[in-house]
Amino acid sequence: MAVLVTAFSIGAPPAGAEITEGCHAEAVFPDGVLVDPAAGDEFTVPRNGTVEWVGRIDTDSEETEPRSHNGQVVIVLPPLIGDVLGLFLDDGEPDVRRWADTETTATTDKGVTKYSIPGWVPAGAPIRVEGVHNDTAQNCDGWVVLTIDGSPWSSPTTLIAVGGTIAALAGLVLAGKARWRAGDPMPGDPIASAPVRGNPILGFIAGGFLGAFVAPLLWALGVIDLASPVWILLPLVGAIAGTAVGFFPPWNRTPGPPRPGDDDPPSPDDEFFSPDEMAVANRRRTPDLGPAGASRSLAEMEDEAGSS
């Protein structure tokens, strides 16, 4: 639990927003929602609509000598995910907007853009949006955290994450259940036993999937943001913990019906014993009546006692 709390604190969505001094950027979303990095805090916006945006750099005049500039605004993905996508795409981060390397004399740019956020993105899930502007007059960078207005339970991502978490937990419980083999002493048997373990392979898989489903669930519920390292940390910790549970099972199988006593040896009709278990039980209950080659059956001893 301490590991998870630490992970959450590391990956918690940052408070506020930032932008380089001397740079200004803002956007007006539907319903008059103003997103301004200089204002700070998290911003909740509608799922779709039209946004009016404007960006400006501070200079002595509204125009400058012709200069080149370029920039982009992207959505930050979990660690390593963007790197993997970058192997197949020109840019591993999804673009919100990109502007080319062109010459301009203006110090302000603005426009109107229609947008629509897919339904698989849960409402209330923090999304970090970063922007950068490279300019000979003024370099700018900044970020904001956006969330979608609505309930996270309306998204299939949240429901899938809940179902996957439950299934992974069930697998982890099975992995941590001790497997008693034929011939192994039952719990409480004073005779020394061989080490008993669960299923470490199942524990590794279930633990990894548990972390992989818990991470999007935490994101959907607003506990971590999309760029949090918890997305990578939780599956790794889950796989390691699940493997440990398999090697050192915390849950022992409940013993079956009691074994017959010493005076009631197992019989072929006993439904509680397999042939292997019967052989082990008979070996444990057969007394040593003398040196090798001198053992006598109980019937022989009773016959001798009667004749005397």
> Which domains occur in the chain, in start order?
13-150 (2.60.40.3880), 153-185+193-247 (no CATH)
Please give the structure tokens belonging to residue 222: 């607003």
Q: How far apart are CA 280 and CA 121, in angstroms?
A: 59
Q: How far apart are CA 165 and CA 168, in angstroms?
A: 5
Report the candidate in 238, 206, 203, 232 with the shortest Cα–Cα distance to residue 219. Answer: 232
* pLDDT at residue 227, rounded to an integer: 82
Long-range contacts for 18-21 (Cβ within 8 Å, ≥24 apart)? 18/142, 18/143, 19/140, 19/141, 19/142, 19/143, 20/139, 20/140, 20/141, 20/142
Averages of pLDDT over runs of 10 residues in the chain (308 residues) are 32 62 90 87 89 86 80 82 57 70 82 88 90 87 91 92 96 85 52 64 96 95 88 95 91 51 50 54 52 52 58
* pLDDT at residue 184, rounded to an integer: 52
* pLDDT at residue 17, rounded to an integer: 74
Report the candidate in 106, 138, 129 with the shortest Cα–Cα distance to residue 37. Answer: 129
Burial of 181-207, coded b for 16+ CB within 10 Å and e otherwise, reads: eeebeeeeeeeeeeeeebbbebbbbbb
* pLDDT at residue 192, rounded to an integer: 42
How far is CA 224 from its chain centroid? Answer: 12
* pLDDT at residue 156, rounded to an integer: 92
* pLDDT at residue 284, rounded to an integer: 52
Measured in degrees and rounded to the nearest 5, phi and psi for residue 6 equal -65, -40
* pLDDT at residue 50, rounded to an integer: 92
Q: How far apart are CA 87 and CA 80, in angstroms?
A: 11
